[in-house]
Amino acid sequence: MSKVFVNIGLSLDGYLAPEGMNMDDPGYKNWGEKWGALMAWLLNQEYMRKKLDFGPGGETGPVNEMVRHTFERTGANIMGKRMFDQGEVSWPEEAPFHTPVYVLTHEKREPWVRPGGTTFYFVNEGPERALALAREAAEDRDIRISGGADVIQQYLSLNAIDELEIALAPVLFGGGRRLFENLREPVPQFRIDTTLDGQDATHLRYIRK
């Protein structure tokens, strides 16, 4: 069966996103600079630069291959409405997923088809329904819970996540959206699987016990 995994960047003080992160005001509380520092490791990888059409160059090596593996193993993505809203105005026309993406939302909307194989589906029936649809679409590939924090927390509370992949960046936000809030007992338990040191982040992989 497909595995369900989280793959995200995290600040040293435990925030998934800085306070005030909103595309309408990139300068609010300097969130754009904080976000850039958090995700610098990813945007510097050769594979990701090609994905985003940034042009040639970028780092090669173990971290770059890890990023490649993440995309190649993923057969479907799940995300929240807040993440989608920000991505809708900032992703390139060919959104960098190339899979079905299931958006948890109360908004009713027809599927949004993008070039390159990405289609966004808007799911109003909750996280369990989105996961069922993602499993069907992914077939023998895995399902990535892309974010944000509240969506990841919902799937942790459902005990549905098999793996956590966290890129821990040496930046401090001092506020924002914490990754591990609002969890319900009993919380799932994980063990360390691998660690990988990069120039801009330490990559931690945990698997469910």
Q: Does 170 sit behind a cis peptide bond, omega within 30 degrees of 0 on the bond before it?
A: no
Residue type, 34: K
Residue with tokens 């506020």: 175
pLDDT computed for residue 27 by the predictor: 67
Q: Does 148 sit behind a cis peptide bond, omega within 30 degrees of 0 on the bond before it?
A: yes
- Along the 209 residues of the chain, how does pLDDT read in single tens digits? 799 999 999 999 999 999 888 767 766 778 889 999 999 999 999 999 988 888 889 999 999 999 999 999 999 999 999 999 988 988 888 898 999 999 999 999 999 999 999 999 999 999 999 999 999 999 999 999 999 999 999 999 999 999 999 999 999 999 999 999 988 888 899 999 999 999 899 999 999 99
Rounded Cα distance between 185 and 166, Å, is: 22
- Phi, psi (degrees; rounded to nearest 5) at 13: -100, 20
How many other CB atoms are found less than 10 A from the CB of residue 74? 20
Look at residue 181 and give its three-state secondary structure. Answer: coil
pLDDT computed for residue 113 by the predictor: 96
pLDDT computed for residue 37 by the predictor: 94
Q: Which domains does the chain have, with CATH numbers?
A: 4-208 (3.40.430.10)
Of 137, 138, 155, the closest CA to residue 146 belongs to 155
Of 93, 73, 182, the closest CA to residue 138 belongs to 73
Q: Does 186 sit behind a cis peptide bond, omega within 30 degrees of 0 on the bond before it?
A: yes
